[in-house]
Amino acid sequence: MIATSCDFTSRATSIQLNHIKLVRADEEFLSQLVEAIIPQSDSPGAKELNLHLFVMKMVDDCASPADQKLFLDGLKKAESVQGQSIEKLQAYLLSLSEKQDVFFKILKGRTIQGYRNSEYIMKNKLVYELVPGRYNGSVKIEA
């Protein structure tokens, strides 16, 4: 009993999903994939920012049933590189067509979206102002 509770292949995901079926092992794999797209450097990468959870949420709630199926199919196909080095994961993703592979298109698009709209980025890097309080229509850019 104790062993099965640690078994990632049957454990539930850390966020509740309503439309698609994923297990904790898929979540773990997705965290590797989003990290391959936006890796950690001197600033946090996609895994630390929980963007795999964001990708899961968006596929679950905002993708059409057809796209959900294609995403899950693509995730299944990618399992051959699960747990491998970031370089191997990146090589696999780059072997997919960004235009035609719906799995890759959704994975990358949602990762970038989640990154740009993350609290970390919006507070520290590309700062978002909720209350600008000003408009200047002619600002000279200092060279």
Partner 1 sequence: MMINLNIDSEKNRTYDAIVIGSGISGGWAAKELCEKGLKTLVLERGRDVQHVKDYPTTNLYPWEFEHRNELPFSVQHENPIVNRCYAFHEDSEHFFVKDKEHPYVQQKPFDWIRGYQVGGKSLLWARQTQRWSDFDFQGPARDGFAVDWPIRYDDIKQWYDHVERFAGIAGDKDGLAELPDGEFLPGYPLNIVEKYFKEKIEKQYPGRKVISARCAHLSKPNKIHFDQGRVQCQNRKLCQRGCPFGGYFSSNSSTLPWAEKTGNLTLRPHSVVHSILYDEKKGKAIGVRVIDKESKNEIDFYAKIIFLNAAAINSNLVLLNSISTRFPTGLGNDSGSLGKYVAFHNYSARISAEFGEYLDYTTDGKNPAGGGYIPRFRNLLKQETDFLRGYAAGFSAYRISHSDQSGIGSDLKNNILNPQLGNWGVGSHMMGETIPKETNFVELDPKLTDEWGIPLLRISVDYDENDVKMKKDYLDTMEEMFTSAGFTNIRRNESSQAPGLDIHEMGGVRMGKDPKTSMLNKWNQIHTCSNVFVTDGASMTSTGTQNPSLTYMAFTARAVDYAITEMKKGNL
Binding residues vs partner 1 (CB under 8 A): 36-39, 41, 43, 45, 57-58, 61-65, 90, 93-94, 108, 112-119, 121-122, 125-126, 128, 130-141, 143
12/91 with CB nearer partner 1: 91
Minimum CB–partner distance for residue 11 and partner 1 (Å): 23
Pairwise CA distance, residues 124 & 104, whole Å:
28
List, in order, residues 6 or more apart from 112 with CB less than 8 Å away. Answer: 37, 38
Of 3 and 129, nearer to partner 1 (C-beta) is 129
β-strand partners of 12: 23
Q: What does each C-alpha distance from 42 to 31, 48, 75, 108, 126 come to in angstroms?
A: 19, 12, 29, 21, 16
6/66 with CB nearer partner 1: 66
Of 10 and 116, the one with the shorter C-beta distance to partner 1 is 116
Least distance (Å) from partner 1 to the CB of residue 107? 10
CB-CB contact of 66 with 45 (8 Å): no
